[in-house]
């Protein structure tokens, strides 16, 4: 969506390979996911899904990916998707000024005609990102792409909505934000908000049973002769 916003328009047709987030083919017919259908509908565009095992249909996309892998990626390091997109945007401004032999012009010279053939962006942008709803478990963490993010333990057992985009993971309960983390792009990490950890410790302490302090009671010690008298034992008997 960031690329379309940069263009200020959207193509009439979006071409996609058969990745799971977009859809697949069933019984010889393409089928979009619910989220992809909503995205397409908001933009007012058509999504064309490439047929399985048809490399010619997606050759243009593969050539573009190969160009990025050989011309943009080597020698670069990225801290995350935002840094990747920032570097890519700067690089594309230079790359699009180069004369393209197949086009017989610079790509920058064609963008005006391409934009004129597109349709206007919708007044309300489509919903993007990853969304799910779950009941918060007792460990008060939610998982997004193999990483665990802490949530305020006050909503344990309640239904929460998890929304993740390229930069943040946000958790809400009944419209109230109960967690907000920077998106982690490593794998198998646990991210804990110190405020959530402190609240969990407070709740655990309040639920622990209180142990009564032992009372120091003085116990009388009886003489052995008292036991002899009680058992009616005669003095001197072995």
Domains of the chain: 2-120 (3.30.420), 130-207 (no CATH)
Highest mean pLDDT among 44-48, 49-53, 129-133, 176-180: 176-180
Is the torsion defined by CA of 180, 172, 41, 21 positive or negative? positive
Sign of CA dihedral 164, 170, 171, 173: negative
Residues 100-118 have a mean pLDDT of 86
DSSP 105: B
Chain segment 139-163, per-residue pLDDT in tens: 999 999 899 999 999 999 999 999 9
Whole-number pLDDT of residue 66: 85
For residues 84 and 177, the model is more confident at 177
Q: Which two tokens stand for residue 89?
A: 């945007």
Provide the token pair at 113. 């005609």
Q: Please tell me the chain's helix, strand, coil percentages from 3-state DSSP, rounded to the nearest 5.
A: 35, 25, 45
Q: Say how far residue 134 (Cα) sits from the centre of its chain.
A: 14
Residue 238 has pLDDT above 50, yes or no: no
Residue 169 CB neighbours (<10 A)? 22
Tell which wins on pLDDT, 52 or 37. 37
Q: What is the pLDDT of residue 123?
A: 87
Alpha helices by DSSP H, listed for 77-175, are 81-95, 107-117
Average pLDDT, the chain: 86
172: which strand partners?
161, 177
> If you search the block for the tokens 């197949």, which residue do you land on?
102
**pLDDT at position 184 over 50:** yes
More confidently predicted of 155 and 220: 155
pLDDT band at 211 (very low <50, low <70, confident <90, very high): low
């Amino acid at each position: 969506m960031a690329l379309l916003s940069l263009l200020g328009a959207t193509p009439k047709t979006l071409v996609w390979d058969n990745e799971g987030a977009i859809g697949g083919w069933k019984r010889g017919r393409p089928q979009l996911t619910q989220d992809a259908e909503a995205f397409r509908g908001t933009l007012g565009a058509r999504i064309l899904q490439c047929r399985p095992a048809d490399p010619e249909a997606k050759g243009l996309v593969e050539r573009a990916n190969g160009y990025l892998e050989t011309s943009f990626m080597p020698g670069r390091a990225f801290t995350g998707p935002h840094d990747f997109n920032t570097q890519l945007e700067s690089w594309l401004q230079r790359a699009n000024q180069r004369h393209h032999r197949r086009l017989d012009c610079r790509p920058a010279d064609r963008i005006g005609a391409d934009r004129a053939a597109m349709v206007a962006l919708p007044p309300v942008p489509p919903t993007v990102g990853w969304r799910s709803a779950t009941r918060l478990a007792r460990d008060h963490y939610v998982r997004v792409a193999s990483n665990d993010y802490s949530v305020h333990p006050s909503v344990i057992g309640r239904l929460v909505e998890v929304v993740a985009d390229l930069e943040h993971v946000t958790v809400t309960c009944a419209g109230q934000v109960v967690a907000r983390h920077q998106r982690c792009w490593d794998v198998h990490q646990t991210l804990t908000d110190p405020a959530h950890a402190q609240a969990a410790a407070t709740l655990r302490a309040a639920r622990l049973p209180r142990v009564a302090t032992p009372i120091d009671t003085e116990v009388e010690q009886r003489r052995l002769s008292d036991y002899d008298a009680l058992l009616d034992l005669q003095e001197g008997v072995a």
